[in-house]
């Protein structure tokens, strides 16, 4: 057992350092995202979702760094990553709309000027919408029209259309079922 530890001591130390750094960076970023979420008035669920996205990205970066710690040659790593990204690229091309909505949801988390409870008008030529924002999710935004209808509007379309703020904090507790 001690022979194994002495042979792989450097790898174990570097891997431990990588894990500690990963946990620290993740904690700092998640806390920062939650503070930004509270400051901008978004829900904790949305902040948690952004935190999960960041965690996945950090884990992928850690896996890449760990391969170098384990002594894998850069040519081998680039071959594996190019093959994986080619497969992912083909898959994401097939579901580009979903990826576009998720990306728009992340953008909306950090820079969307409207909050849950605001009444907005979306200037869409085909289907103009005037409603109160009930929820902002990863793929779509939930809007409640004056007649009670629930409209789900894709995040990517919302960022492409002109939006007018009609009333701040228009949502009252009696209109929620």
Is the predicted pLDDT of residue 21 greater than 90, yes or no? yes
Q: Which residues pair with 164 in a beta bridge?
A: 121
For the entire predicted model, the pTM comes to: 0.54
Going by pLDDT thresholds of 50, 70 and 90, the confidence category of residue 1 is low
Is the predicted pLDDT of residue 176 greater than 60, yes or no? no
pLDDT at 132: 92
CA–CA gap between residue 27 and residue 21 (Å, rounded):
10
DSSP string, 59-124: HHHHHHHHHHHTT--HHHHHHHHHHHHHHHHHHHHHTHHHHHHHHHHHHHHHH----TT-EEEEE-
Is the predicted pLDDT of residue 78 greater than 50, yes or no? yes
Q: Which residues pair with 142 in a beta bridge?
A: 135, 152
pLDDT at 28: 93
Q: Which of 12-21, 56-65, 85-94 has the lowest mean pLDDT?
A: 85-94
Q: Which whole number is the average pLDDT over 63-88? A: 83
Q: Which of 13-27, 78-92, 157-171 has the lowest mean pLDDT?
A: 78-92
Is the predicted pLDDT of residue 130 greater than 50, yes or no? yes
Q: Which whole number is the average pLDDT over 121-134? A: 89
CA–CA gap between residue 163 and residue 113 (Å, rounded):
10
Is the predicted pLDDT of residue 26 greater than 80, yes or no? yes
Q: What's 134's DSSP letter? A: E
Is the predicted pLDDT of residue 2 greater than 80, yes or no? no
Most confident of 45-59, 94-108, 160-174: 45-59
Is the predicted pLDDT of residue 79 greater than 50, yes or no? yes
pLDDT at 175: 47
Structure tokens, 152: 């789900």
């Amino acid at each position: 057992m001690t022979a194994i530890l002495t042979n792989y001591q450097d790898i174990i130390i570097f891997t431990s350092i990588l894990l500690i750094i990963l946990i620290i960076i993740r904690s700092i970023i998640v806390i920062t995202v939650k503070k930004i979420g509270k400051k901008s008035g978004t829900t904790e669920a949305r902040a948690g979702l952004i935190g999960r996205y960041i965690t996945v990205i950090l884990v992928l970066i850690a896996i890449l760094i760990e391969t170098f710690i384990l002594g894998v040659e850069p040519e081998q790593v680039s071959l594996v990553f190019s093959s994986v990204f080619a497969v992912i690229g083909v898959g994401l091309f097939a579901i580009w709309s979903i990826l576009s909505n998720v990306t728009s949801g992340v953008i909306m988390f950090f820079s969307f000027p409207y909050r849950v409870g605001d009444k907005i008008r979306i200037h869409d030529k085909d289907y103009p919408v005037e409603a109160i924002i009930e929820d902002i999710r990863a793929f779509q935004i939930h809007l409640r029209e004056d007649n009670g209808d629930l409209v789900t509007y894709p995040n990517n379309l919302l960022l492409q259309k002109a939006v007018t703020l009609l009333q701040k904090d228009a949502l009252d507790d009696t209109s929620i079922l």
